[in-house]
Structure formats: C-alpha cells, structure tokens
Amino acid sequence: MKTKFLLPIIALGLFAACDDSSSPSAPKVETPVPTDTTTTPVAVDPTTDPTVTPVVDPTTDPATNPVVDPTTDPATDPVVDPTVNPGTDPAVTPGTDPVPGADVVETPIDPTASVNACLSATRAPVVEPTYATVPSSGEYVYYGAELSGVEQFKYGRYEACMKMVSIPGSVSSMFLYYDNSWMKDEEPWNEIDIEVLGKGGTMWQSNIITREGDPSIKKNTSSESKPLHEFGFDATEGFHLFAITWTPEYVAWEIDGVEIRRDPLGQVHGTHADADQVAFLTKDQTLRFNLWASKSAGWVGAFTGDELADAPKAQWIDYVRVYSYDTATKTFTEAWTDDFEGADLNRDHWATGNWEMEKVNLAPENVVVENGYCKLLLTRADK
C-alpha cells in the first residue's frame, strides 16, 4: 500500500468589461407659426416683427454652424468604440490571433507534494519479473509494452512516478502523442517525449517531434536534447517524478520537481511551417508510456536480446497524475490520479498497444497491474 499526498489546486479567474457609449443627437429647429392676413395691418418695426424673416448672425446660425459641445465634438474628441479602443484593446495584426490569456500571469503548480509522494512513499516491494522455466529452442522473438491513454488532452501537466529501464537498445518512455501522427501524408505529427535510453540509466532525452501535413515532406522536425540530460542519479535504481507541462506558450520538462528544459513559443527549429514547434502543437494528444527496443544502435546502443536471457526487464509506474489547464486564467486543476490499486487497468483512462515497434512486438499481456503498480515488460520468448 502506498501513502501519497495530493496538492489542492485553486483556479483563479480574471475578467474585464467595457462600458458602452452613445452618439450626440442633432440640433432641433423650431418652425414659425403663420400670421392672420385678414386683419388691419399694423405698422411694426421689422427688426422686431416675428412674422418677418429675422436677421441672423451667420456665425451663430444653427442651420449653418450648429453649436457643438466641445467635449463631444468628433473633431476634437472622437467617439471611440470601447470594444476596439486601442487604449484598452491593442491593435492585432490582421490574420493573427493573440495567445489566449496573454495578459494573465500563470499560476504554476508547486510540485513539492508530488515529489514527496514519489520519493518518500511507503510502497510495496518491487519484485522483478522472472520467466517460467521452459525448454529453449535458441531462437527468440521479443516483446515490449505500451500503456496508451484513451483521453484526448489539449494542454495540461502530466506527472508519473516511475522506475525506468536501460539496457543496450532499449527505450523507456513517457510521452504525449497525436494519435494520427503515424498516418503521415496530410496528417501532421505532434509529439512531446521523455525517454530513458539504452546508453545508461543516468541520462535521458527530452524531445518535441512535429511535421506539417504535407505529403511532400517526409522527415519530421525533432528538437531532441543534445547532449543528453544528466539525471545525477540512476533512474533504473529507484522511483523518480517525471513531468511534462504543455501550454500554448511553452513546453517544459521536469525531473523530481526541477525544470530541466523549457521551449517557449517562438523558438524555431528547422525551416518548414512547423519550425515554431510550440505554436505547431495544435492537435489533441493522448498520454502514453512504452518500453521497446530500437534498431538505431547509434541512438540507444545495439540490442542483441542477450540482456533478456535471464529475466524480463520492467518499467515500473507507481502512479500517474493529470492536470487540466485553463488558457484564460492560466491555472492548472488536478483532473485525476491513477495509482493502479485495482486488479486491472482503469479502462476509462487506458488501453494497451499491440503493434510492431522496430525490434519488438508490443504485447497487451506485457502491461501488468499488480500490488499497486503498472509494469511494462520487455521480454523474449521461443519462436
């Protein structure tokens, strides 16, 4: 049984309103009343006779030069629509959209409680898996595992307390992924990675992978960390908190509550339309974890399979925590935590992979839930 501490998140909202204004009305002109012409005329002074067209000073005649209140004179004090007042709503270049909530200060997550829950938890003993004793043919096939999220996310924070794997050729990972990326052609590629590679458990790689939906473009844009990040510890020997934060303004990677890398909006990689990778991450993505073996010896070391001769290798996941992100208030709210306390996966959150992944086939039976953990297994079997 694990003891964990949850950090309450308070969402704050900021709202702004504009006052309406009205236009001044036109001056009102009185029409003279006609006089009776059947009565005896009376001599009158024409300068004071109201029936005679009065002599009017043209400089003050409202018909030719209406008196205007200078405080509302459009020549000196133009009427401004408050919804487009440049003093309250700065002009935006046509065809562009400001980042949602750009004038709001983000309320970040304090990872202290999550880090303590991961590093200091009292948890069930980790018992490494073993093979059943069976005669060997000497020819093998290899199997990996993928825990695939079923929920679609657009921005948020994603945490996992994990013990990773590193043998020559292996990739032990946590990542966000647009489900149709693999289709290529007119589908874009969106992906954010944390990967512990087969070159040693003391190093790891952060990465954003993108590609615009253009069939003529065959190569993805990658911004993998070079050189690899140094943990300062061996991630295969104990549990540590891994986190990805994704917002419209940046992507950040954390280990044990320490931000290791941040890519801001506007940072450019490559020359295609997806060069500003943070801006190009527009697709909803699922949260995934996998363990597999790559063909790229230069990237992860050479996989021979001998590393699996004595026993399977396991990536251990203690718990996963997901936070939603409000783009208007720039606040994070915990959506759910899965601590794998049941006998099987919570199918509201998870599915399993069953496809080929370079040197292995992903096997649903290699995703195992027991004793409060989810284990991803890398195994070999007789052909």
Active-site residues, by number, are 191, 195
CB 152 within 8 A of CB 177: no
Q: Do 77 and 71 touch, CB atoms closer than 8 A?
A: yes
141 burial level (CB within 10 Å; 0-12, 13-18, 19+): middle
Contact 291, 367 (CB under 8 A): no
Q: What kind and span of H or E run contains 382?
A: strand 373-382
Q: Are 200 and 229 in contact (CB under 8 A)?
A: no
114 CB-side CA count, 13 A: 30
For residue 115, give the 3-state DSSP assignment: helix
Are 363 and 144 within 8 A, CB to CB?
A: yes
Q: Burial of 38 by CB count in 10 Å (0-12 exposed, 13-18 middle, 19+ buried)?
A: exposed
Asked if 176 and 158 count as a contact pair (C-beta separation under 8 A), the reply is: yes
Between CA 270 and CA 77 the distance in angstroms is 50
H helix and E strand count, the chain? 3, 18
Q: Tokens 């190093």 — which residue?
A: 203
Distance CA(220)–CA(244), nearest Å, equals 21
Give the type of residue at 198: G
